[in-house]
């Protein structure tokens, strides 16, 4: 005996006509993705130390950090800082320095910063120092892009073998649009783009792929069950049938990521914010982008073998 859940996000028997908004969904997605591409080139991503190279020093001041005092101390020693920002607690600060051409130059730069801070900000403590050379950062950036490309290729191969090609094209095009929006979000919010953000984008890809497979699987099942139903109505029905699962999964992951974004500190909050954005984009794209693309590509091909309903033959009876 099956027990029905007491709470459902979407009532049973819901029949929302999602495909009525297919053109609007695609247009809005195209506008957002185009804007994201523009943001990628200008102002561009805020590359973290992993990809830009340089030095990051985490320091703790005896009182809440006075940024003007820190900048003045660095200027006094002619140290060109790329940025000073709060990191977690009000007394902790990150200082970013540009990459030096040689290792000896980097060590000299770090020593100058330590001397400047100790002289200009009494009681300061250096908690950690991270150094990434220019050649290493270029290799990390290349490997990160390679990881994203291989992920997209493997997803295409997986969906191609599991479904018809119309499904594969719809899923991959939608995933590319999801990635561009995530890149635009990073460029707009100025969150550091580093290896952690590459991991966040790969996580979004996996989550979004799973969401689309759930919807596509129900569409394929209904294609076999309802031979003569128009594809538009069949896609609407399939989305409605999976809506509870889609929204339930999305809300679970969203609520799990929200505390990390709010209280996780600088080291993990960026990852969590990108995840939250990706959950919203991935869930909505399954309904308003992937499904309309499947409708446009498969309206005639997926129904080519469907038997058209024929009128019953009327036989004349003898009097």
128 vs 134, more confident? 128
Residue 184: predicted pLDDT: 95
Residue 292: predicted pLDDT: 93
Mean pLDDT on 17-37: 93
For residue 244, the cross-strand partners are: none
Collapsing DSSP states into helix, strand and coil, what is residue 93? Answer: strand
Q: 289 pLDDT exceeds 70? A: yes
Residue 307: predicted pLDDT: 42
Q: 225 pLDDT exceeds 60? A: yes
Residue 275: predicted pLDDT: 94
Q: 133 pLDDT exceeds 70? A: no
177 vs 89, more confident? 177
163 vs 25, more confident? 25
Rounded distance, CA 92 to CA 62, Å?
Answer: 9
For residue 128, the cross-strand partners are: 58
pLDDT band at 314 (very low <50, low <70, confident <90, very high): very low
206 vs 54, more confident? 206
Nearest to 98 by CA among 65, 49, 54: 54
If one counts every other C-beta atom within 10 angstroms of the C-beta of residue 306, the result is: 14
CA–chain centroid gap for 238, Å, is: 25
Cis ω on the peptide bond leading into residue 43 (within 30° of 0)? yes
Residue 229: predicted pLDDT: 87
Residue with tokens 């090609």: 165
If one counts every other C-beta atom within 10 angstroms of the C-beta of residue 190, the result is: 10
Q: 309 pLDDT exceeds 70? A: no
Collapsing DSSP states into helix, strand and coil, what is residue 131? Answer: strand
Overall residue count recorded for the chain in this entry: 319
Q: 310 pLDDT exceeds 50? A: no
Mean pLDDT on 83-104: 77
pLDDT band at 234 (very low <50, low <70, confident <90, very high): very high
137 vs 60, more confident? 60
- CA angle (251 as vertex; 248, 254 as ends), nearest 5: 150
The mean of the pLDDT values for the chain is 83
Rounded distance, CA 191 to CA 261, Å?
Answer: 12
Domains along the chain with CATH numbers: 18-47+137-298 (1.20.1640.10), 54-132 (3.30.70.260)
pLDDT tens column, 34-43: 999 999 998 8
Segment among 39-48, 103-112, 215-224 with least mean pLDDT: 103-112
In the chain, pLDDT over 70 holds for what percent of residues?
Answer: 89
If one counts every other C-beta atom within 10 angstroms of the C-beta of residue 77, the result is: 13
pLDDT tens column, 56-90: 888 888 888 888 888 888 887 777 666 787 777 78
Beta strand 89-97 pairing with 81-87: antiparallel
Mean pLDDT on 158-162: 81
Helix runs in the chain, H state only: 22-39, 49-52, 67-76, 103-120, 134-162, 165-189, 195-225, 231-263, 266-285, 291-298
């Amino acid at each position: 005996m099956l027990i029905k859940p007491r709470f459902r996000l979407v009532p049973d028997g819901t029949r929302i006509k999602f495909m009525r908004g297919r053109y609007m969904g695609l247009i809005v997605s195209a506008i957002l993705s185009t804007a994201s591409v523009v943001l990628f080139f200008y102002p561009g991503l805020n590359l973290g130390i992993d990809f830009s190279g340089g030095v990051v020093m985490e320091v703790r001041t005896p009182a809440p950090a006075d940024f003007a005092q820190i900048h003045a101390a660095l200027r006094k020693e002619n140290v060109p800082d790329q940025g000073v920002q709060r990191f977690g607690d009000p007394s902790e600060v990150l200082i970013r320095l540009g990459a030096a051409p040689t290792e000896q130059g980097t060590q000299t730069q770090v020593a100058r910063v330590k001397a400047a801070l100790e002289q200009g900000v009494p009681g300061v403590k250096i908690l950690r120092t991270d150094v990434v050379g220019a050649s290493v950062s270029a290799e990390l950036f290349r490997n990160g892009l390679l990881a994203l490309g291989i992920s997209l290729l493997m997803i295409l191969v997986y969906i191609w073998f599991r479904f018809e090609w119309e499904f594969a094209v719809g899923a991959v095009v939608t995933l590319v649009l999801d990635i561009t929006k995530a890149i635009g979000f990073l460029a707009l919010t100025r969150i550091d783009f580093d290896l952690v953000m590459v991991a966040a984008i790969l996580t979004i890809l996996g989550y979004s792929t799973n969401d689309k497979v759930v919807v596509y699987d129900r569409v394929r099942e209904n294609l076999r069950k309802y031979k003569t139903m128009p594809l538009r109505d069949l896609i609407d029905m399939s989305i409605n049938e999976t809506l509870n699962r889609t929204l339930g999964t999305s809300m679970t992951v969203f609520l799990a990521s929200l505390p990390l974004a709010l209280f996780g500190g600088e080291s993990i909050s960026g990852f969590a914010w990108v995840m939250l954005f990706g959950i919203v984009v991935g869930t909505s794209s399954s309904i308003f982008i992937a499904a309309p693309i499947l409708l446009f590509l498969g309206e005639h091909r997926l129904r080519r073998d469907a038997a058209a309903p024929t009128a019953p033959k009327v036989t004349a009876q003898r009097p």
